[in-house]
Structure 1
């Protein structure tokens, strides 16, 4: 990376962060007011405001979003969405652009950040992955969330993919949840978010994002014995679609 590009990338990263924070502060009171309501109204309010936030944010930082495959979401049906994870930008795009209302699973430490933490907790079920009881409670909360008609948006790679492979190996959680709750699982692929915020350093670049939802996979009648096969099937579908690239 040449010096001029590095400088421009850092300036853009500063603009990206500044504009994000400014919009957050403008929407702060309405977002905080979501805590006055019970679920699922609380999450519906958060997602509505989040979509406004991203509608004002992503295009004006040079990152327009193209969304495809929303026809796979049937009215009245709740889903587990399995999405790839390459960048911090994934959360901004996936949470706001997934049809219907959704929650994700996130690190408990993020919920303690001043000002931002309460907003983060609106859209996420928090978990301390080092604590067995916290993991157990988060799983119960995810099942309850699905029962309320709220999709669970999960990243089966666990953390951002910093490798050269299309996907990291998947954990079982998303597939256990889908099978235990007997809801379909929707494979979803984000393209180009890694180009916006690459791993490591204070640097960013504008880029168009494509968010694809693939046909859902039914889990009715499956048991936990089917987790390995389901996980492999979803992994192969997502990997093959990612390798093809946005069409």
Structure 2
């Protein structure tokens, strides 16, 4: 029985991977054409094609992404701060985040054949190996915000592989929010670590809930307020994660499709 179950899991994983690549190759020519329109306009168009990919791929592999809005559908540009449990998180972001936005992404990913081209068109690249690379990514994020584009950052810096709900936050997101006076919006991916754990290739069908929390204003804050702001956001996210971990079906009263 265990052998049969393992075989089914392998077949499902191969099926999901083939679909992932197949749909990506279908939209690649359109993303190439969009890239000719520049970093802002072309990047925005790219995300509409990526969203099409996500709307096709998730249902076809039996993953149902469900949004839980506690923010009453707030409008405007934000600096999204999101917990990070899985490689699936980037795919979820494409499906649920309000456009236009750009995530912060590792520069190493652009070396992946074909996917790397799409990646370069759709993220703000960061080279964490050098101070110059980090400074360049900060400047680009600030430029995007001034162009009316929201930014998505995983403040934990890397995938959380611990037993803790959250790992300590880095300062970058909060520094940019204060410097640009852009409100922070905490967002929680509640099930991505279950659907696709960071360790091992074990994708599974099921629900993927995304919790949008009310924004946190930064108007008038200075760098002296950064530690308190970082702690405030951490506490808000950890409290919500604890609630949804303890009561996994609480969203039934709040979910919007």
Is the shorter-chain TM-score for this pair beyond 0.5, marking a shared fold? Answer: yes
Q: Secondary structure at the match of 1:27?
A: helix
The answer to whether the 8 Å contact 2:54/2:94 transfers is no
Shift of 1:207: 1.7
Shift of 1:100: 2.1
- What does residue 95 of structure 1 align with? 94
The answer to whether the 8 Å contact 1:81/1:151 transfers is yes
Q: Secondary structure at the match of 1:189?
A: strand
Shift of 1:128: 1.3
Shift of 1:3: 4.3
**2: CA distance, partners of 1:164 / 1:4:** 30
The answer to whether the 8 Å contact 1:47/1:96 transfers is no
- What does residue 22 of structure 2 align with? 22
- What does residue 55 of structure 1 align with? 55
- What does residue 10 of structure 1 align with? 10
The answer to whether the 8 Å contact 2:83/2:187 transfers is yes
The answer to whether the 8 Å contact 1:73/1:99 transfers is no
Q: Secondary structure at the match of 1:201?
A: coil
**1: CA distance, partners of 2:30 / 2:149:** 21
Runs of 4+ in 1 over 6 A off after TM superposition: none
The answer to whether the 8 Å contact 2:39/2:121 transfers is no
What TM-score does the superposition give when structure 2 sets the normalisation length? 0.91
- What does residue 195 of structure 2 align with? 196
**1: CA distance, partners of 2:33 / 2:73:** 32
Q: Secondary structure at the match of 1:208?
A: strand
The answer to whether the 8 Å contact 2:184/2:217 transfers is yes
**2: CA distance, partners of 1:63 / 1:242:** 21
Q: Secondary structure at the match of 1:174?
A: helix
Q: Secondary structure at the match of 1:218?
A: coil
**1: CA distance, partners of 2:158 / 2:36:** 32
The answer to whether the 8 Å contact 1:43/1:102 transfers is no
The answer to whether the 8 Å contact 1:157/1:171 transfers is yes
**2: CA distance, partners of 1:199 / 1:10:** 17
**1: CA distance, partners of 2:171 / 2:8:** 40
- What does residue 36 of structure 2 align with? 36
**2: CA distance, partners of 1:101 / 1:226:** 28
Q: Secondary structure at the match of 1:67?
A: strand
**1: CA distance, partners of 2:143 / 2:13:** 38
**2: CA distance, partners of 1:37 / 1:24:** 20
Aligned Cα RMSD in Å? 1.5
Within 5 A, what are the aligned runs for 1:159-238?
Answer: 159-238=158-237
**2: CA distance, partners of 1:95 / 1:140:** 23
Q: How many residues align?
A: 245
What TM-score does the superposition give when structure 1 sets the normalisation length? 0.94
Q: Secondary structure at the match of 2:63?
A: coil
CA offset digits 1:116-173 (Å, max 9, x no partner) = 1110011111111011100001000000010111100110011111111111111111
The answer to whether the 8 Å contact 1:103/1:153 transfers is yes
Shift of 1:4: 4.0
**1: CA distance, partners of 2:218 / 2:194:** 34
